Chains A and B, each alone.
Chain A
Amino acid sequence: MSGAAEAALPTDDDKPDESTLPWIRLNPRMLLVHPLREIIRYLPLILVALVAGSVGGEPWWVYVLSSLGIVVGVLRWFTTSYRITDSHVQIKRGILNRQLLSVPRDRIRSVDVDSTILHRIFGLSVVKVGTGASHGVDNLEFNAMRSGDVPAFRKEMLSHVPRNAVPLADAPDDADVVVRNFSRWRRSWVRYAPFTLSGVSSIVVVVFFVLQTQFFENGLLTRIPFVKYELGQIAHLPTLTLVVWSTCIIVVAASVVAVVRYLLSYSGFSISRVDQSTLHITHGLLHTRQVTLDERRLRGIQLSEPLSLRAVGGAWTHAIMTGLGRQRGGVALISPPGPRDEAVRIATEIVSIEGALTEELIRHGRRAHRRRYTRAATFAVVLALVALAAQLVGLVSPAVWWAFVVIVPGSVFLAWDRYRGLGHSLLPGWVVGRSGSLNRKRFVLATDGIIGWTIRRSFFQRRAGLATLIATTAAGKHRYDLPDLPFEEVWPLIEAVNAQVIAVPDSRQTSPTQPLPRR
């Protein structure tokens, strides 16, 4: 633990580095990559603007916005420079707010490589140097450098790491390593894609965007003749036909979108051990990623099995890690949506926690059970009140009540399934929790990664004698919830976890022979 200790304390290293080394700019090819990225980002907007332009009422702000993006992209290259001195890594950046990041090299804990398709076309990689500090404030990002330079850079960055487990000097060059891919990803796994609902979420985003343009540009879309004509046709169809048809269209469209997205992002998924402490995770036609996964950073596993995916026996897993930055939720994907057994197997390859992912959990009892149904009923009642109000005002026809034929049994089912999913358990070294139905997640969190507890009780939870116990940690999304635990079990659980941490003081940090925790 000695390494992480220094990160918390101000040391002599904090004094400014007096080096006179010159500042270096990032790879000049970024002058092309930055603007292209901005254009791609604004592409949907620009398309809509062009369509809109053909019927008058051109949304000029789209052009202003996208050209502004390009200018900023170019400026970013000119304003970012870095240097690596004997003792520090420094980055200067920022267009309006100039920022100087200076990190002592002995605090560097990880080097992650992450590149988009655009970077790869130009032979570039984004390198992120992590310091183990959790808030991501002093995470150094080199966007971008030549891919060929990365192995050497990586080695240099990590040469100061006081790591007992990995003799980096002796580590073979990346090129010589025989790596075994232990993912069994197949193209046929794409059959799970429609069940991940990623297609539905994409469609929701697009629809929201279109409606927003419609709203801000005074009915722009309805002025397009084609749309106008189609809307006229649709208005004449009977409601039932309309509902059936639109459902079919949405299901098909969402599935297609999901399949395409799946293939784009997970094609050729491979995960392999480069050296004792580094996992190389590559996936996607678009994206490659290389993650340093070592004992200091790994804090657990998260298994996601949303209702729809669970129905077909699928799941996916992430590794919960520190220092990945909160934008990505602090997790690294280790197994894409696919068969559940495979998701569990990969997790077990990385940390021996098989039982934690498969064993039965401790249920939260009768009161938690009742609360699931109370909440489902509340939801249905609120919807009913909204429907009633809308009807009284004359917004909707009485046919809206037919929706409750679906809503009521649906919420009862969700309540039942949510209770079934609710549970926790305490294994030696790990806390396990599971909750949710539509988006069920099971987390396995290392007890020595837990750095505090929050016991949260709403008014209704107090009346029911329940509490939500939240374990806070520096890894992943920083908080892992055990919802609706019987209140009398809360303190004993906290004590039990703490007793474990005390009994095995920092076992993982001081085991030089075992690079990854295997329990």
Chain B
Amino acid sequence: MSVTTGIAAMIHDPVGRPSSRAVRFWTLDAIGGWTFFAALQLLWMLVANLWTDPIHLGGLALTVLVAIIHVSVMPRWRYSIHRWEVTDDAIFVRSGWLTQETRVAPISRLQTVDSRRGLLSRIMGLTTVKITTASSAGALTIHALDDAVAEEVVARLAAIAQQNAGDAT
């Protein structure tokens, strides 16, 4: 088994992409987050009774502006960046948008595989797969996969984890 070939092969982009519903998921997720934040601001204005205070109104306007930019830019950008691939030798995951990260772990170092689904992702039929190694800094997360794809990945990786030798602890 050679990890070298596996890694050398990865100079091209990994082939796997998130689900086609991922853009919608990230959009809704971001809208949810920003709504919550704006609601907090409104609550503050309500409690302190500062409906006409220019600083508060300015703050609210700023939130709305940043939210609109974030919601319209982030999901598509993310979708164009996110990639993943599981080869015979290694796992590769690329994620992020402004700051991008590529993570590589030799498949022989894989320790646990778990899938997680929040409320929104359950509604949309999406699953996030998290793969950990013995290093707490090295977890690989494949975001927003179709449930079926995720199940397949988890099953395959779990089988590999069973046969693994050392985890360098």
Contacts and interface: CB of A to CB of B under 8 A. Distances in A.
Interface of A: 1, 4-5, 7-9, 132-135, 322-323, 326, 448-459, 462, 470, 472-474, 477-479, 491, 494-495, 498-499, 501-502, 506, 509
Given A451-B138, A479-B138, A7 B103 contact: no
Given A8-B164, A452-B109, 17 more contacts: A1-B165, A4-B167, A7-B167, A9-B162, A134-B135, A449-B168, A452-B104, A452-B135, A454-B101, A454-B104, A455-B102, A457-B99, A458-B98, A462-B100, A474-B134, A474-B135, A479-B135
Nearest to B8: A495
The 9 closest A-B pairs by CB, nearest first: A472-B138, A479-B137, A452-B105, A474-B134, A472-B135, A452-B138, A451-B109, A478-B137, A1-B166
Nearest to A477: B137
Given A451-B135, A454-B138, A491-B11, A498 B106 contact: yes
B35 interface: no
Given A8-B167, A452-B109, A473-B168, A498 B3 contact: yes
A25 B4 CA distance: 52
Is chain A's binding surface mostly helix, strand, loop or mixed?
mixed
Contact of B102 (A5, A450, A454): A454
A478 B136 contact: yes
A502 B3 CA distance: 8
Given A9-B162, A479-B138, A498-B7, A452 B169 contact: no
A322 B169 contact: yes
B4 A498 contact: yes
Given A452-B135, A498-B3, A502-B3, A9 B164 contact: yes
A268 to B, nearest CB: 33
Contacts of A474: 133-135, 167-169
Interface of B: 2-4, 7-8, 10-11, 98-106, 109, 111, 133-138, 140, 161-162, 164-169
Nearest to A109: B169
A453 B8 contact: no
A499 B4 contact: yes
B101 A455 contact: yes
A457 B133 contact: no
Nearest to A297: B169
B166 A472 contact: no
A4 to B, nearest CB: 5
Given A322-B169, A474-B169, A498-B3, A454 B103 contact: yes
